[in-house]
A and B are shown apart, each in its own frame.
Chain A
Amino acid sequence: MNPMIKQLIRKDWQINRNIMAIYIGVMLIANVMLLADPNNIVFGMGLILILTILFIMCIHLTTSNVISEYSQKTVTFIMSLPVSARQYAIAKLAANLSMFCVPWLMALVSSWLIILSSDSLPNGLTALATLGLVEILLSYCLIMMMGIVTESQHGAIGAMAIANLGFQAFLWGMLKIPAIAQHRDSNELAWNSTELSILAIQLVVIIGLLGTTLLIQQRKTNFI
């Protein structure tokens, strides 16, 4: 990797290290709560906590690490360094994605472990949990893209509204698909073709969002 991009990613992690420690810590606690019996209220609270952390991170990482660079004018400082607009955009995407993905991966891995190790949860639930988490990741990419591209709070908030509605619709729609509903209740671990194609679509959309962000940033002619 280009050393300048590496420096910028490291810089973003250092600047946000306190808040990241909090996110990771709370995510750990939430994961521990999932060790409770699925019928216990603690389990439900842990689940809600995980989703809450991820939703908060969606908007907070975008405001604190993308939009604040513009509103606090640190972007002028960064762009005065030997860095191109393209490198800056790549570094910003990579930093924000990596910061989001640490707690997100924790949630993903622990959801699998909990489901597979629990007798009362059908193993088929892993597919739905994974698709739901990937959908949250997709929402984050959309919000982040809008933040980077519009450089404004309004852009990110608009994207969040869309992402929020999209996520609700996604969950509702998923349960309407018979292949997914049936798999959810079975103990079958292997994914069916419907689930695999949904995952493929999600990944294509995520890559598309990231690529579009880079493309738009590269074509900008004013950086401050």
Chain B
Amino acid sequence: MNSHAVELHNVGKDYKYFRLNDISLNLPTGSITGFIGVNGAGKSTTIRILLGLVHQDRGSVQVLGQSMPDQQVLAKREIGYVSEDMRLYPKANLAWHMQFIQAIYPNWDQAYAEQLLKRFDLRAEQKIKGLSHGQRVKATLLLALAHRPKLLVLDEPTTGLDPVARQEVLAALMEVLADEQRTILFSSHNTLDVEQISDHVAFIDQGSIIESTSKEDLLDLWRRLRVRITPGQSVSELPHIVQQQGNGQLQSFITNRYSPALHQTYEQAGLEIQAIEYLTLEEIFVASIQARREGKTL
């Protein structure tokens, strides 16, 4: 068994007004990866490439051991995909869609589908046309989950959902991971969801992956330091400072490489460290995007 469910290597795609800059990204089997970026950063393009829906101009894409887009039919037998811009047939009902999907995937699990139907509070006889946005997302997710795919790819699954529906969706996703051979990639601009359930985090901005790491490492390495400096002292020379605020004696920094050793380095440089704070994933995301757009290398 391959240890990576998805391997993107130097994958590029050129559009008139957008360019995917030769990105590389690996998704470990059995993990859940949160893919974060602002709208238009390249999340959907990347996801479509890894499903073979868009063909890359450069680079190699391996999904579940199949090379994309050539082997997409084989790969897609084991993939469940839900995206924000995906619609079911409005005039048909959910039961019809369930039969349609069941006829396609041998792994379809009818008992599980019916259990999800109850949990998501959906009625199979209802026509798709009459469903609310949240119900539509849950219906699409049901179809993707119930054929028990090895790889679940979700493009903005929780966007526009009410809090109850969001928790239902997140709970269903977490249960998928009870089976260690199954992998989830989900994109979002809701960092709270990613912070809660993901093992790995990838940030994408302007067509480039700017961070791809374990979420715990990320939350651990990024800290805000509240410091007191002696007047006239310059801090611009200090290492690993991503962001700096304030210009009096009391200042705060954000560092992306926090460690006891770095703490010592700062103290030896004459900083009086008054507090060390953790950052939320959202703060880390915003700070790293800003730093990158200012031309800093992280």
Contacts and interface: CB of A to CB of B under 8 A. Distances in A.
Interface in B86-112: 86-92, 96, 100-101, 103-105
Contacts of A15: 89, 91-92
A87 interface: yes
A4 interface: yes
Contact of B48 (A74, A81, A83, A224): A224
A77 B87 contact: yes
A88 B66 CA distance: 20
Q: How large is the interface on A (under 10, 10 to 19, 20 to 34, 35 or more residues)?
A: 20 to 34
Main secondary structure of the interface of B (DSSP, over half): mixed
Contacts of B54: 221-224
Contacts of A73: 85-87
A84 interface: yes
B214 to A, nearest CB: 29
B73 interface: yes
Q: How large is the interface on B (under 10, 10 to 19, 20 to 34, 35 or more residues)?
A: 20 to 34
A11 B96 CA distance: 10
Interface stretch (B76-84, B165-173, B229-237): B76-84
A77 to B, nearest CB: 5
B103 A7 contact: yes
A82 B89 contact: no
B286 interface: no
Given A222-B54, A224-B54, A76 B83 contact: yes
A151 to B, nearest CB: 14
B181 interface: no
A72 interface: yes
A168 interface: no
Contact of B74 (A7, A82, A222): A82
A76 B85 contact: yes
A7 B73 CA distance: 15
A221 B87 CA distance: 21
B76 A80 contact: yes
Contacts of A74: 87-89
B83 to A, nearest CB: 6
A222 B54 CA distance: 4
A10 B103 CA distance: 11
Contacts of B103: 7
B190 interface: no
B55 interface: yes
A40 interface: no
Contact of A80 (B51, B55, B74): B51
Contacts of A7: 100, 103-104
Given A11-B100, A76-B83, A222-B55, A81 B76 contact: yes
A80 B81 contact: yes
A224 B85 contact: yes
A73 B90 CA distance: 10
A16 to B, nearest CB: 9
A15 B72 CA distance: 26
Interface in A13-37: 14-15
B100 A223 contact: no
A80 B86 contact: yes
A221 B48 CA distance: 11
Contacts of A14: 92, 96
Given A4-B73, A7-B103, 10 more contacts: A14-B96, A72-B89, A72-B90, A73-B85, A74-B87, A79-B53, A80-B79, A80-B83, A82-B104, A82-B105
Pick the 7 closest A-B CB pairs, nearest first.
Answer: A221-B55, A80-B81, A76-B86, A73-B87, A82-B76, A82-B77, A223-B53
7 contacts: A7-B103, A11-B100, A80-B79, A80-B144, A81-B101, A82-B74, A223-B54
